[in-house]
Amino acid sequence: MLTRQEQMELILDHYENPRHKQALADAEAVVEGGNPGCGDIVKVYLKVQDGHVVAAFEGEGCTISQASASYLMAEVNGKTLEEVLTIDQEDLMENLGKEIVQQRTRCATLSLETLRAAIRKREREQMIKNSH
């Protein structure tokens, strides 16, 4: 269990040194998610390679939204889609530091919502592809 201080440092570290922050040229799905309240964005790039998730993001916005995106990308890369789909908002907020992010749910979960939208989009596109 991290202390509040360690959790703040974790968030700042992800914000300042984001993991997997890049465009993926060969992504199977790209979704841009936004928080209408503030205009912040997280754009998720997703593909599945040999059964494992490869995900990256680009974005601009508040510390928590961008740190959350970096944290989530580090968490999901290499996992199966099934494993990724078990991650819920509670898990993410818990890992980021519930006390710190609980007043900022929308900021903290924008990345997860966008990733899930990218998974759904990829599924639809795969279905269309396979039906031809």
Torsion angle defined by CA atoms of residues 9, 14, 17 and 19, in that order, rounded to the nearest 10 degrees: 150
Which CB atom, from 68 or from 95, has the smaller least distance to ligand FES? 68
Smallest distance from ligand FES to CB 103, Å: 11
* Alpha carbons 126 and 132: distance in angstroms, whole number: 10
Of 64, 56, 58, 76, the C-alpha closest to 10 is 64
* Alpha carbons 57 and 70: distance in angstroms, whole number: 8
Binding mask 3-42 for ligand FES (x = CB under 6 A): --------------------------------x--x-x--
Binding mask 44-83 for ligand FES (x = CB under 6 A): -----------------xx-xx------------------
Does 114 engage in binding with ligand FES (CB under 6 A)?
A: no
Tell me, by CB under 6 A, how many residues bind ligand FES.
Answer: 9
Does 107 engage in binding with ligand FES (CB under 6 A)?
A: yes
Torsion angle defined by CA atoms of residues 84, 88, 91 and 96, in that order, rounded to the nearest 10 degrees: 90
